[in-house]
Amino acid sequence: MTTVQSFDAKPRPAMREPTRWERLRSNRDWLGFWFMVPSMGLLTLFLAYPLFLGVWLSFTDTKIGRAGKFIGLENYEWLLDDKVFWLSVTNTMLYTVVASAAKFAIGLYLALLLNKHMPFKAIIRAIVLIPFIVPTVLSAIAFWWIYDSQFSIISWMLRKMGWITVNINFLGDPWNARWSTIFANVWRGIPFVAITLLAGLQTVSPSLYEAATLDGASGWQRFRYITYPILTPIIAVVMTFSVLFTFTDFQLIWALTRGGPVNATHLMATLSYQRAILGGNMGEGAAIATAMIPFLMFAVLVSWFGLQRRKWQQGVGND
């Protein structure tokens, strides 16, 4: 018996039909389903379901620790006559519009500055992002100290310069408090806008500017007819998110003023927290939160489509 024979004797494995289980195991839809289970499970349980539950709660008189019953639109009727609610609505509008506009203007300006050639560029860019890294509440606490009524460093500086004689009451006066919180929000939001717009700016080819300059375009014209159109899609996305997060802001206000003085800085989010969690009226709080949804959709649609409309000029599909 030779070795060759024993080698030949080994049978070759026959091709067999894949079993049902093997077919199923390689079926895309079946696999896809199981791959999606963890994310979809969490999102359904803690995002989609609460969203609907919130709308339902707003039609009930639920209190903390007591299940409510259906009372129709009573919560909303109550809110229509509620001066504090309307104050929070106008505050939210003012806060969103002013802060978003300022964030956009300063953020774009900062992005244009950072896009220039300069030494230590990477380090400067890293430094600019720091306000975005530090948790909002912790930087809000720093602002609280800066805005202190007695020991504010801003008041101290202005007094030394002789511009004011009495300390500014930053958070104690309604309008001062509004502007102070808006300033803190803008401060916190600028890095996000600037760095994302900078990433967009870096894709603009310098040869476009060179060609435009040769044709006699001024600096403003170069910005208006080259930079701005190319940036439009990314501006739309950035500002949509910026508006969204500003509109639903909670933590900055809560850390700085808790809605005070006398409800002057209440946003819809802080008011709903106060009514639902601190006041115990879950139904009423849920109605305020639900009332944010149409405003929110409107704000998102405006910033999305309003800024998006020039996209077709790019000539390429966005991805």
Partner 1 sequence: MTDATQSGVRVEQPSVAREDNAEGMEFLETFKRRLVFTYLPLGIIILVLLFPFYWMALTAVKPDEQLLDMETFSPFWTWSPTFKHIDKLLFHSNYPKWLWNTMYVASAATALSLFASVLAAYAIVRLQFRGAQLVGGLIFLAYLVPPSILFIPLASIIYQYGLIDSPLSLILVYPTILIPFATWLLMGYFKSIPFELEESALMDGATRFQILTKIVLPLAVPGLISAFIFCFTLCWNEFIYALTFISTTGNKTVPVAIVNEFVDGDIYRWGSLMAGALVGSLPLVILYTFFVEHYVSAMTGAVKE
Given the complex with partner 1, which of 5 and 165 has the nearer CB atom?
Answer: 165
> Does residue 139 come out as left (phi exceeding 0), alpha (psi in the -120 to 50 range) or beta?
alpha
Given the complex with partner 1, which of 53 and 80 has the nearer CB atom?
Answer: 53
Tokens of 102: 């300022």
Given the complex with partner 1, which of 5 and 26 has the nearer CB atom?
Answer: 26
Q: How distant, in Å, are the alpha carbons of 38, 198, 279 from that of 27?
A: 19, 43, 53
* CB-count exposure of residue 36 (10 Å: 0-12, 13-18, 19+): exposed
Kindly give, in sequence order, each residue whose CB lies less than 8 Å from that of residue 44, ignoring residues fewer than 6 positions away: none
Under rule CB under 8 A, residue 19 binds partner 1: no
Q: Residue 279 Cβ, how far from partner 1 at the closest point, in Å?
A: 12
Kindly give, in sequence order, each residue whose CB lies less than 8 Å from that of residue 176, ignoring residues fewer than 6 positions away: 168, 169, 170
Mask 90-129, x = binds partner 1 (CB under 8 A)? ----------------x--xx--xxxxxx--xx-xxxxxx
Residue 280 three-state SS: coil
**By CB under 8 A, which span of 9-17, 36-44, 93-101, 307-315 interacts with partner 1?**
36-44
Rounded CA gap, 43 and 38, in Å? Answer: 9
* CB-count exposure of residue 98 (10 Å: 0-12, 13-18, 19+): middle
Under rule CB under 8 A, residue 80 binds partner 1: no
Mask 161-200, x = binds partner 1 (CB under 8 A)? --------------------------x--xxx--xx--x-
Residue 262 three-state SS: coil
Given the complex with partner 1, which of 9 and 214 has the nearer CB atom?
Answer: 214
**By CB under 8 A, which span of 4-12, 80-88, 149-157, 170-178 interacts with partner 1?**
149-157
Residue 60 three-state SS: strand
Q: Residue 2 Cβ, how far from partner 1 at the closest point, in Å?
A: 33
Under rule CB under 8 A, residue 254 binds partner 1: yes
Applying CB under 8 A, the site for partner 1 has a residue count of: 104
Exactly one of 31, 80, 301, 302 binds partner 1 (CB under 8 A); which one? Answer: 31
Exactly one of 18, 24, 33, 105 binds partner 1 (CB under 8 A); which one? Answer: 33
Under rule CB under 8 A, residue 18 binds partner 1: no
Under rule CB under 8 A, residue 305 binds partner 1: no
Given the complex with partner 1, which of 105 and 262 has the nearer CB atom?
Answer: 105
Rounded CA gap, 303 and 313, in Å? Answer: 18
Exactly one of 237, 280, 308, 310 binds partner 1 (CB under 8 A); which one? Answer: 237
Q: Residue 216 Cβ, how far from partner 1 at the closest point, in Å?
A: 14
**Residues 275, 55 contacting (CB under 8 angstroms):** no
Q: Residue 309 Cβ, how far from partner 1 at the closest point, in Å?
A: 19
**Residues 168, 161 contacting (CB under 8 angstroms):** no
Given the complex with partner 1, which of 80 and 213 has the nearer CB atom?
Answer: 213
Kindly give, in sequence order, each residue whose CB lies less than 8 Å from that of residue 35, ignoring residues fewer than 6 positions away: none
